[in-house]
Structure 1
């Protein structure tokens, strides 16, 4: 590890002193003006009067999106999101971290992508990571949910540390990615900015592009609120200056998964995971090194038709805008 990353790991460790995850009610909720700026979309991005909620819409003219004002190295990032209802095939709502505007040829990325569907079919969530421009090795997983994400707001969170990445839905960890030596630079390891967007991904998002966005149902509206940006802020020019903020109660900052939380995560994955790159024989004759083959899991996933992504490149990059271009079921 070079001195730059060693310095960040040591000084950002203030965020990883307590194991486990409790409700994050005590973490500071930012107003939109405190943490974010409009990225694209003109009047398709509307900030409500309380300055704590944002509406992103997609219509025939454009999608929309916003971006965090700061660049971060490690931390906990979260928002409450309500997705558009009815026919949403081809629509993608994304809540993700990236540094493609700074590292164009070797960018990192951590993705939550929400994939719309035809009427009567549920939204799906896709998670993914890239490190050091490793876009030829997609690590997508896709899931259903135990609730309707269009009925109300639900919290979606990313924990990113030097050793692992955890994706949360509400208080439930749904995926953990541990950094391994064999992954090398594929693990995200450079400062990133947080983005939120809604856009037309008709070419791939629903059944491999079979179903397109139908603008008869536009505008498609996604709502965001309860923003949490809790990480080490990095100077975007120098990439060496930083500011690590502390919180009133560090017990609210997740750092890992307890045994009981892991059991709940495994239950979620058994019930709701629909696709994992580790079992996609079309894309990978030999799965990536971190994959562990589970025969029962492989058998269960066979009933879902894997959506492949061409040569493995992430098709959504062309739609990502750079900063410079200004009764619920149980798990």
Structure 2
């Protein structure tokens, strides 16, 4: 059975979801997706299940805040109890402070437990760094097991993500994927014929994990996790599940507005964020992709990027290609 979003102009719909997430509000009653109470009101036991980490996962605030930690023994993680085909998924997250090189905190959607060789995935990956260097955020999109075709983008942040909670969100529809930081869209992936099955199209569950990424996460593995600073604790609050529930026997599609999900102001905000904070883009990575992937539209701004896809540092004229921190 298909489920429906309340038909609202698309940009207003997303704003409504973000506002409701912040307020843990309920939505207008129309018998559809937005008629149900916001999932941020669910306790952990009602909406999620622990994946690993035993005592490294702790609940706070009547089970509505989740702390997951990494120490020498293990990391930790949890997942939604159900799978969803399209929707809006978000959490307020506070990252570990101090020295966090090699630490990876992930907030993502995947169906790898069901489709081992043809899985889909939508990622926020938060990459720790040495003291004095900021955390970086990476987004990625996989479809139909296309792990050999990475669509990574990496960004700096205009705030310190260790000092307070900030909201990270994924909007996933049949035709578009939008990543948000707080209420600002930072990336849009539009479905195209050329992408084919590489556009995620199967039901996915929501996951959150913290783990040791020493082999790759900071300067390509140059800096490792230093456990004298452990435990590294990532805090999750206001976890929001606003999707069409799906099961192995029923994969009904969501009926979503077909119009643009961003108005002109939001699109301008996205372009400003990307101009200021995008530090790596797969569309500019000429080493991996001598011919850009079909969805890439590369213009004069490509001169701002090294052949590795990393952004040139301002004022640095003589740097070897690939000298930027790499998470790939």
TM range (shorter): 0.7 to 0.9
Q: Post-superposition, which runs of at least 4 consecutive aligned residues in structure 1 deviate over 3 A?
A: 241-244
Aligned to 2:33: none
| In structure 2, distance between residues paired with 1:306 and 1:277 | 14
**Aligned counterpart, 2:68:** 56
Say whether the 8 Å CA contact 2:176–2:189 is kept in structure 1.
yes
Cα distance per residue 1:26-80 (max 9 Å; x no partner): 3512221221111100000001151110000000000000000000000000110
1:308 CA displacement: 6.3
Q: Could you tell which deviates more after superposition, 96-105 or 41-50? A: 41-50
What's the counterpart of residue 260 of structure 1?
265
Identify the residue that residue 77 of structure 1 maps to in structure 2.
89
- 1:18 Cα offset (Å): 2.8
- Mind listing any 5+ residue stretches in structure 2 that lack a counterpart? 27-37, 306-310, 314-322
- Give a deviation string over 1:250-275, Cα, whole Å, max 9, x none: 99xx9711100010110000110000
**Partner SS for 2:244:** strand
Distance 2:89 2:155 in 1: 20
Deviation of 1:241 (Å): 5.8
In structure 2, what is the Cα distance between the partners aligned to 1:217 and 1:78?
28
Paired with 2:260 and 2:91, the residues of 1 have a C-alpha distance of 18
Whether the 8 Å contact between 2:102 and 2:216 is mirrored in structure 1 is: yes
Q: Which residue number corresponds to residue 295 of structure 1?
A: 300
Counterpart check, 1:307 vs 2:307: no
Query: In structure 2, do the counterparts of structure 1 residues 203 and 182 end up closer, same or farther at CA, with 3 Å as the change threshold?
Result: same
User: Cα distance, 1:242 vs. partner?
Assistant: 5.8
The answer as to 2:62 corresponding to 1:42 is no
Rounded Cα–Cα distance in structure 1 between residues aligned with 2:43 and 2:149: 36
- State the secondary structure of the residue aligned to 1:34: helix
Q: How far apart in 2 are the matches of 1:206 and 1:241?
A: 39
Return the alpha-carbon distance in structure 2 between the equivalents of residues 118 and 146 of structure 1.
18
In structure 1, runs of 5+ residues without a counterpart are 1-6, 310-331
User: What is the rounded CA distance, in whole Å, between the counterparts of 1:90 and 1:185 in structure 2?
Assistant: 32
Report if the CA contact (8 A) 1:159-1:255 is conserved: no
Which of the numbers 2, 7, 10 marks the counterpart of 1:19? 10
Structure having greater relative contact order (Cα 8 Å, sep ≥ 6): 1
TM-score normalized by the length of structure 1: 0.83
Equivalent-residue separation in structure 2 for 1:57 and 1:139 (angstroms): 28
TM-score (structure 2 length as normaliser):
0.84
Name the structure 1 match of 2:289.
Answer: 284
* Deviation for aligned residue 1:149: 0.3
Q: 1: CA distance between counterparts of 2:265 and 2:75?
A: 40
> What is the aligned partner in structure 2 of residue 159 from structure 1?
171
Aligned to 1:201: 213
Secondary structure of the residue that 1:24 maps to in structure 2? Answer: helix
Number of equivalent positions? 292
In 2 relative to 1, CA 307–41 (structure 1 residues): closer, same or farther, beyond 3 Å?
A: same
1:32 to 29, 44, 64: 44
